[in-house]
Structure 1
Amino acid sequence: MAGMTVLGITSIKRSLCAATMALFGAGGALACGGIYTVQLDDTLSEIADRLYKDVKVLPILHRDNRAVVGDDPDELRPGSKLKLPCIDGRPIGLEVAIDVTNPPPAQVSVPQGTERSEDVGVINLVTAGDFTPFTDRALAQGGMITEMVSLAIGQAGRTENFRINWINDRTAHLDPLMREGMMDLAFPSYRPDCATLRADPLCQEFLFSDPMFELLTLLFVNKRHPIPFSQDIDIEGKTLCRPEGFSLADLDRADRRWISEKKITLVQPLAVQDCFAMLAAGDVDGVAINEFTGRAAVRDLGLMEQVEALEGRALAIETLHALVHKSHPRATELLELINSGLADIRKTGEYQRVIDRHLPQFWSSL
């Protein structure tokens, strides 16, 4: 089949918040930056995502507001005032806006003087939502994997010294948050087959914990426009969807090469539900995602009569892990912390009890 172009559709983003509407000062110059009043349930990472459309500015906002925020960027007091700098023309429309004709260039790496997480004596973990039933702030205990990680670290005696940071821009987890040392551990992550994918950035730069859970990745299709999937060649020439920030290793493994050899068109919107909305509209041929998150999205969108999972052949069988960057000065210690804690909760039976608390509830909700 003729090769298809791989598309990274990153333009499907959240609509602009009213707080970022254009505000013009004297002489018509665009006013950028200014004072932001913290609202109930705000976090610094959410402010970075909403007002700058780039969570990578988080360390800059934290550095500039440490006197107000303190060490925890996600513990903000409603009513407190933050000074938000102008970066790439954002944010605009703020109180006491600053007239910036020639704003300084944005800096998205760790600013000089920014404390690494080990300097403040807290293990910082980063995860994201929209990954039912494994990680989501709306789920009990933050989801099944979040509870496992919390129990594993607690079992190892670090209950008072770790913090879970929720940053839904998955593309920022590895770079810059992990690469620059702003976060110590990330979870959950699929582990590529590093024996055959040595060039994969995950294999080159990160170390993986022991597996926490095994799951199937399935192909979800539109019942009105079904496609066969008895062998890989059936998918060549098709358009598949997988949300931005989710691993692509299974789509480009050594015996498949759907992406690197341009055998498919890959669409990557921001959210899981975006993929299924495209599938229902006929804009993509299939959604490639784990069976749990996929089934939850089908349920939430009311697409049970229109979308089905092809259960006869899995795209992949994968495991979920925590990971740490190889350059981290305590990489070995952190992995041992997670692995020993996982071993302990398996031995005590708490690991199975976590599964028994989450999975029956998930299946009963479908």
Structure 2
Amino acid sequence: MVTTTGMAFKTASALAMALAISAGLVLGGSHAAQAQDLCSRYTIVRGDTLSKIAKATGVQGGFQVLFNANAHVLRSPNLVETGQVITIPCADGSLPSAAPAANQAAALVPVTADRPLRIVTASGYAPFTDKDLPGGGLFTQLVLRALELGNPAQEVNFFFVNDWNAQLDSLLPSGAVDMAFPWFKPDCDRVEILSPPNAYRCTDFNHSDPFYDALVGYYTLAGSPYDGATDHADLLGARICRPDAWFTFDMEAEGLTEPEITMTRVSQLECWRLLEAGAVDVVTYDALPAEDDMRSLAISERVVSLDALTTTATLHVFVAKTNPEANAALPAMNAGLEQLRLTGEWFSIVRAGIQASLEN
């Protein structure tokens, strides 16, 4: 049983707004992939990239949607391999009915807490979490459905709270809540290279399996010295703009920190204005809103996407390492998430959630 309690809300942060997904995204790729049909399977050939395939097939929602449809096959948007078979969504965004058979999830005997689990998110994070979206947003639906599948006997109290920072700073550490979402997780195997605010996400919290992979893009002006960069090391010495509400642990992991680069932290749109003015060399953040921002400023034709540098940042449920009930519930949640992916329900929830956000 899930109980949902509404609380006060703040205006969405720049990070929340940056994750709003729009239709029609196509990341660059100057050469078309082989002609293919929607609602089909496609075998990767040499020279293919997801952006080329999305453009050639006309996938609604482009690069990100194609990656979402094949997250069980592709571990990275840049690591497609010759011979891999991927799924091309249908014109209505659904997946072909005859999906490849998947292995069944391992049996799990879940641990049921003797009290309701207290789970928190915040509003204004469309399409992932928002009180005004159906089911509280697509990420909320995924989390609650995964818990239901993983352990139907576990009672849950679910809340919207108006302060994102309080989730990690006080609510989880104090035990006031058991789980918080959605949060980006750094590479905790390399915690020694992270700054203290980013390392904290590893040292003080445990995490669910990844619920969603967001694509993080890098962009420069056509003809700039960085046009054609194929490795993050090619950006050493560059002036890079990362919007001020965004995490930086992905850049830290690639060595893109001062003084190796010059970092500018301003609003998303100001990053693009600085790029146009020649005050920065590269802009980097979530590929979906980045593409939208370029279109809104009518600069898409002047900007190139450094596709080889595109990375993923995974969104998770976080629990405090000191909370035994929450940690005991994580295996059941992960098992439920696996079932969502195996049955195709994950993609259906994501697709419907994106569409609902666009219509809201």
Higher relative contact order (CA 8 A, sep 6+): 2
Aligned residues: 247
The change in CA–CA distance for 1:177 and 1:276 in structure 2 (over 3 A counts) is farther
Aligned residue in 2 for 1:189 = 183
CA distance in 2, matches of 1:120, 1:307: 56
Aligned residue in 2 for 1:46 = 10
Gaps (5+ residues) in structure 1? Answer: 1-41, 50-117
Shift of 1:325: 1.4
CA RMSD of aligned residues (A): 3.9
Shift of 1:251: 0.4
CA distance in 2, matches of 1:282, 1:150: 46
Aligned residue in 2 for 1:177 = 171
Shift of 1:313: 1.1
Aligned residue in 1 for 2:79 = none
Residue 317 of structure 2 corresponds to residue 353 of structure 1: no
Shift of 1:204: 1.0
Aligned residue in 1 for 2:202 = 203
Residue 249 of structure 2 corresponds to residue 263 of structure 1: no
| Bigger Cα displacement from structure 2, 323-332 vs 338-347 | 338-347
CA distance in 2, matches of 1:128, 1:268: 24
TM-score, with structure 1 as normaliser = 0.54
Q: SS state of the match for residue 175, structure 1?
A: helix
Aligned residue in 2 for 1:298 = 294
TM-score, with structure 2 as normaliser = 0.55
The change in CA–CA distance for 1:265 and 1:195 in structure 2 (over 3 A counts) is same
The amino acid across from 2:173 in the alignment is R
Q: SS state of the match for residue 218, structure 2?
A: strand
CA distance in 1, matches of 2:300, 2:251: 27
1:214-229 → structure 2 map (5 Å cutoff): 214-223=213-222, 227-228=226-227, 229=229
Q: SS state of the match for residue 308, structure 2?
A: coil
The amino acid across from 1:217 in the alignment is V
The amino acid across from 1:288 in the alignment is T
Shift of 1:201: 1.7
CA distance in 2, matches of 1:312, 1:216: 11
Q: Is the 8 A contact 1:207 1:324 kept in 2?
A: yes
The change in CA–CA distance for 1:231 and 1:141 in structure 2 (over 3 A counts) is same
Q: SS state of the match for residue 197, structure 1?
A: helix
The structure with the largest alpha-carbon Rg is 1
Shift of 1:326: 0.7
Shift of 1:307: 6.2
Gaps (5+ residues) in structure 2? Answer: 1-5, 14-112
Aligned residue in 2 for 1:338 = 333
CA distance in 2, matches of 1:307, 1:330: 52
The change in CA–CA distance for 1:354 and 1:265 in structure 2 (over 3 A counts) is same
Q: Is the 8 A contact 2:116 2:155 kept in 1?
A: no
CA distance in 2, matches of 1:141, 1:278: 39
Aligned residue in 2 for 1:235 = 235
The change in CA–CA distance for 1:296 and 1:305 in structure 2 (over 3 A counts) is closer
